[in-house]
Structure 1
Amino acid sequence: MTTPTVVLVTGVSSGIGRTTAEQFARRGCEVYGTVRNLATAAPLPGVTLVAMDVRDTDSVQRAVTDIISRAGRIDVLVNNAGMNMTGAVEETSIAEAHVMFETNVFGAMRTIQAVLPQMRQRRAGRIVNISSVLGFLPAPYMGLYSASKHALEGLSESLDHEVRQFGIRVTLVEPAYARTSLEANSPTAKSPIAAYDRERTASAAAVVREINKAPAPDSVAATIVEAALGKWQMRKTPPGPASLLSKLRRFMPAGPVDASLRKQFGLG
């Protein structure tokens, strides 16, 4: 009898994380999904829900210890938990930026540090960090979100070099827009500056248009599952706009890419 792959997915309350956990379960994996509040979390067939707040080191350590005590190991970690925020860089307070990085960067770092000891001991493991096309492209009025994803990309590439000696590999998945609550309900910076109103409004309208025509998170989830269980690649982009943007960034001159981005976001 084949031993199932043990998978930990963070942030499975909704959206990409929930769909990803479901797809891992359908592939026969033993899946653990984290939520911040077990009492309010909707059940997920085939997935064991575990309480975890990625912003709290003790919470992360407790959850990982609990999973290892149940399953004996963690083969795959998917760092999906994250948050977004809109607003000009000048409008965004340092405190708001701290919250963003606590979740998107340090949250991933906490879970990585919690699972790595047992992966190193077994000399096997796969870590999949959910980035974004904004991890390699700029995003006007989402500068802090983009910064957090750029940071996650640098962390992931460096980490992959460090842990390769132990049979562990790290992969980045870089989706574009998907119809999820994270993107549809992003908080805004609390101290707007009137001088940015016109372009901020145009940019927000462009994002809404993209989300409204974006696919459901199934294709992103499928890419994550393949990144975790298939042949290793440093970066994987879901089919469609994300793959196109990745190619444009790599092969087109910077000037046309810059002009295209400004046009898309309605900037003067």
Structure 2
Amino acid sequence: MHKPKVVLITGASSGLGKATGEFLAARGYRVYGTARNPSRYPDFKSFPLLAMDVQQEESVSHAVNALLSREGRIDILVNNAGVGITGPMEETPYEAVCNAMETNFHGPLRVMQAVLPAMREQGSGMVLNVTSIAGYMGLPFRGVYSASKGALEIASEAYRMEVRPFGICVTTLAPGDYATNIAAGRFHSPLREGSAYYESYGKSLELMNTHVKDGGDPTQVARAVYRILSSRNPKVHYTVGSPLQRLSVRLKQLLPDTWYERLLRNHYKL
């Protein structure tokens, strides 16, 4: 009888991470999630939560070592922890830019560096990096977020080729907009009276919040993760979202840059 696979999901106290963890646990996986401060979720019963701050190397190592001590192996890593950020590129405080990159890009790399030696030793493993459809294009007033997720997409391609000889697979899943609490925790550059971007940023901010509020069910992402984990030969990249969001990625590949830019400007009324 096969032992259930051990899954580590970062940022799993709510949203896509929690939905994915619950979905996998119901299908026999041994799921462990992470949160910066698990004590803030005293009623959380879905699966064990380990303390991990992906911005802190020591915190990452401690959580990974604790899980390895408990289970002896990590079969699957789902790098899901992330933060939202909006604002005009010119006016976004650089400290906020660095914070987003630390969580959305450097964070997953830290966790991979901590987990990969154990996967290499066991001769198998899968890393699924959760990116974003926004990472395929430079979205106005979400440029920092797009850049952080786009960087993870590209780094994952390189990682995938490097670790393949060790029996480890790296892939990415880029969700569109889903009904989660990311908007509540997102860093918003303030809408400043007198700013050159006051009108255009204000309209775009309303549009972005509406997209998240009216977003899909996070269980769709959980199902997509499950399908990928069940695949014999996972692809390099996957997307999940509304037909229009997934089409936007394809159009980006097919259309001349200026045509695609015009579509985005029309969408954001710029």
TM score, norm. by length of structure 2: 0.94
| Residue type of the alignment partner of 1:32 | Y
Q: 1:121: how far off? A: 1.0
Alpha-carbon spacing, 1:84–1:135, altered in 2? closer, same or farther (3 Å): same
2:87 is the counterpart of 1:87: yes
SS of corresponding position for 2:84: coil
Cα pair 2:83 2:185 within 8 Å, conserved: no
1:234 counterpart letter in structure 2: V
1:36-85 superposed Cα distances (whole Å, 9 cap, x missing partner): 11211254445111111111111100000000111110000000000011
Q: Which runs of 5+ in 2 are unaligned?
A: none
Tell me the equivalent position of 2:171. Answer: 171
Pairing 1:138–2:141 present: no
Q: Distance in 2 between matches of 1:105 and 1:208?
A: 23
Query: Which secondary structure does the structure 1 equivalent of 2:31 belong to?
Result: strand
Look up the match of 1:38.
Answer: 38
1:77 match: secondary structure: strand
For 2:198, the equivalent position in structure 1 comes to: 197
Instruction: Tell me the amino acid that sits aligned with residue 208 of structure 1.
Output: N
> What is the CA–CA distance in structure 2 between the aligned matches of 1:266 and 1:36, rounded to whole Å?
38
Counting aligned pairs with the same residue, the percent is 38
Q: How does 1:252-267 map to 2 (within 5 A)?
A: 252-267=255-270
Point out the more displaced range, 232-241 or 43-52.
43-52
Which residue in the other structure is 1:224 paired with? 225
Distance in 2 of aligned mates of 1:185 and 1:12: 14
Partner of 1:72 in structure 2? Answer: 72
Structure 1 partner of 2:58: 58
Match for 2:142: what amino acid?
Answer: M
Residue 93 of structure 1 and its aligned partner are, at CA, apart by: 2.2
* SS of alignment partner, residue 127 of structure 1: strand
> For 1:2-24, what per-residue CA distance to the aligned partner results, in whole angstroms no more than 9, with x for missing partners?
21010000001111011011011
Which stretch of structure 1 is more off in the superposition, 12-21 or 46-55? 46-55
* 1:161–1:208 Cα change, 3 Å: same
Check conservation: 2:9, 2:17, Cα contact below 8 A: yes
Q: Deviations over 1:196-238 (max 9, x none)?
A: 1111011112112222321121101211222233231111111
Distance 2:207 2:110 in 1: 34
Separation in structure 2 between the aligned mates of residue 72 and residue 46 of structure 1, nearest angstrom: 21
- CA offsets 1:103-141 (integer angstroms, 9 cap, x no match): 111110110000000111112110000100111111101
Structure 1 unaligned residues grouped into runs of 5+: none
Preserved CA contact (<8 Å) 2:160 2:169: yes
Residue aligning to 1:208: 209
Residues 1:44 and 1:4: Cα distance change in structure 2 (over 3 Å): farther
Show the counterpart of 1:236.
238
* Cα pair 2:13 2:49 within 8 Å, conserved: no
* Cα deviation, residue 144, structure 1: 0.8
Give CA-to-partner distance per residue, 1:148-175, whole Å, 9 cap, x none: 0111111101100100011111111011
TM-score by length of 1: 0.94
Runs of 4+ in 1 over 3 A off after TM superposition: 42-46, 190-193
Q: Which amino acid aligns with 2:31?
A: V
* 2:16 and 2:180 in contact (8 A); partners too: yes
Contact 1:179 1:216 in 2 (8 A): yes
**1:243 and 1:42 mapped to 2: Cα distance?**
37
Give the SS at the match of 1:169.
strand
Alignment length (residue pairs)? 267
Q: Aligned partner of 1:198: which letter?
A: E
2:182 alignment partner in structure 1:
182
Do residues 10 (structure 1) and 18 (structure 2) align? no
Q: Distance in 2 between matches of 1:212 and 1:61?
A: 35
- Secondary structure of the residue that 1:237 maps to in structure 2? strand
In structure 2, C-alpha distance between the alignment counterparts of 1:54 and 1:26, rounded to whole Å:
26
| Aligned equivalents of 2:65, 2:256: Cα separation in 1 | 48
Output the aligned Cα RMSD.
1.6
